[in-house]
Structure 1
Amino acid sequence: MKSLSVRNLNVWFGEDRNRVDAVRAASFDVPSGGSFGLVGESGSGKSTILRAITGLVPTWSGEIEIDGAHVAHKRGREFYKLVQMVFQDPYASLHPRHSVDHVLSETLHLHGFQDIDTRVNNLLDDVGLGRSFRFRYPHQLSGGQRQRVAIARALAPEPEILLLDEPTSALDVSVQAEILNLLSDLRAEHKLTFVMVSHDLSVVGHMCDSVAVMRDGEIVEILSVEKMRRMEPDSAYTKHLLDVSLNYASAQA
């Protein structure tokens, strides 16, 4: 298991007068095997942090470390064997003309695995699809099934850190709990370290050990899930988010 450390992370888009600072001076630690949540309103910078960690945003400064080893701006294959990401939209993250077999086999091949046939079947079993889904195409799958394929693809290199960007928000409510329970089981089985972005505090409360609350590109507060459940934040903004979430849940009940 690997730990993740982020120190004074700044992420921006554009240059000079067109520059937009999306994340400013973000710092947090995720212990080996831990699960850390990033929450906040839309545009607060939480997904941008994940994209900076995984190398999808090149314009960043600060320090990102995995088990004390510095992560360079240019990442190689070894990084992606350790760190993988599951994206929000399973409809956009899978190529419509690539079968499930192609998606998983190609990922395994890129990471140098040999026993690809066996590994594809094992991955499908791991995410609860089974081998009958191996030669199906994305249009033949439901949203939940597509996200299971995306999770299988992320697991293919045998990573130790999984970045989860709103992994259930594009799914039907009836399917969301299934995917969250699957992720919890996979974390325990594979001893994974999670960083999860969500706008849903109840999801983070179910999945994570501690939470960073973001506002306008900055981390306002980091608190334990136990403290969040007791409604005992230090920040007035965090209290506002908790109150809004509680009122929304009561209205839906």
Structure 2
Amino acid sequence: MSMIEIENLNIWFGEGVDRVDAVRDAAFSVARGESFGLVGESGSGKSTILRAITGLAPTWSGTIRVEGEPLQGHRRSRAFYKRVQMVFQDPYASLHPRQSVDQVLSETLHLQGMKDINKRVEKLLQDVGLGNRFRFRYPHQLSGGQRQRVAIARALAGEPDILLLDEPTSALDVSVQAEILNLLTDLREEHKLTYVMVSHDLPVVAHMCDRLAVMQQGEIVEVMTQDDLRQLRARHPYTRTLLDASISHHDAG
């Protein structure tokens, strides 16, 4: 069964002469347990699609189905947020500076109606490779990578089926990026999760995703498999440009 199905999706901001069409006629589906990537330059509409799924983009038309259920407008039920969680790009902005790790996770577990909160906080910290010694620290006492681990633990608190990952490593040092990507790969396997991951970084997506959609100026121009990407089998000229840029960047590094 498809966990996410998107058909004829249009997302826009503003009205009349001020209207900006951020996404035009997007369509893709994501199977249960799959990791699906959305790739493109900044402003291509990839994060906007995640925002429409989670109800953060108010004006859209078309079809968005999550586990077979069609979504409407921008209101999402509590049951939806139990199944679908998002990990944002910036771990500095997504954690409350005056809440300890324990408060962040305990509050989330409480809101999700979970029991045995104490035990679950310990398990979440263990799952993301932090352990109990980080439990009573505050965000300013953590590195960027540690903060992102806390953000991932918070997303896992309600035992969701789907994680939406919005550039989850782009704000981190290169040395830490690989650790977080490997953690996400392990968690997907361990918790049988489905991922939709937004990135402008092709090597990251090649590492993480089974398939990917390439976006240019609000449109999906090509859907590729991981194998296509690794064999550099791109049909669309824009995808070839992205691949060439990624290869020359890699060679230069």
TM-score bracket, shorter-length normalisation:
over 0.9
Aligned to 1:55: 55
Aligned to 1:13: 13
Equivalent residue of 1:3, what SS? strand
Q: After the TM superposition, which segments of 4 or more aligned residues of structure 1 sit over 3 Å from their partners?
A: none
What is the alpha-carbon root mean square deviation over aligned residues? Answer: 1.0
1:1-253, aligned counterparts within 5 Å? 3-73=3-73, 74-252=75-253
- Please tell me whether the aligned partners of residues 40 and 46 of structure 2 are also in contact (alpha carbons under 8 angstroms): yes
Separation in structure 2 between the aligned mates of residue 181 and residue 232 of structure 1, nearest angstrom: 25
- Deviation of 1:2 (Å): 6.5
TM-score, normalised relative to structure 2: 0.98
Letter in 2 for 1:97: R
Which shows bigger deviation, 64-73 or 241-250? 64-73
Q: Deviations over 1:51-71 (max 9, x none)?
A: 111111111111111222112
TM-score, normalised relative to structure 1: 0.98
Q: Deviations over 1:170-212 (max 9, x none)?
A: 0011100000000000000000000000111000000000110
- Deviation of 1:142 (Å): 0.3
Letter in 2 for 1:204: V
Equivalent residue of 1:11, what SS? strand
Which shows bigger deviation, 53-62 or 91-100? 53-62
Matched pairs, number: 252
Letter in 1 for 2:19: R
Separation in structure 2 between the aligned mates of residue 185 and residue 244 of structure 1, nearest angstrom: 29
Identical-pair percentage: 70
Letter in 1 for 2:51: R
Separation in structure 2 between the aligned mates of residue 216 and residue 68 of structure 1, nearest angstrom: 28
- Deviation of 1:118 (Å): 0.8
Unaligned ranges ≥5, structure 2: none
Letter in 1 for 2:25: A
Separation in structure 2 between the aligned mates of residue 228 and residue 75 of structure 1, nearest angstrom: 35
Unaligned ranges ≥5, structure 1: none
- Deviation of 1:14 (Å): 1.0
Letter in 1 for 2:174: V
Equivalent residue of 1:114, what SS? coil
Separation in structure 2 between the aligned mates of residue 113 and residue 35 of structure 1, nearest angstrom: 27
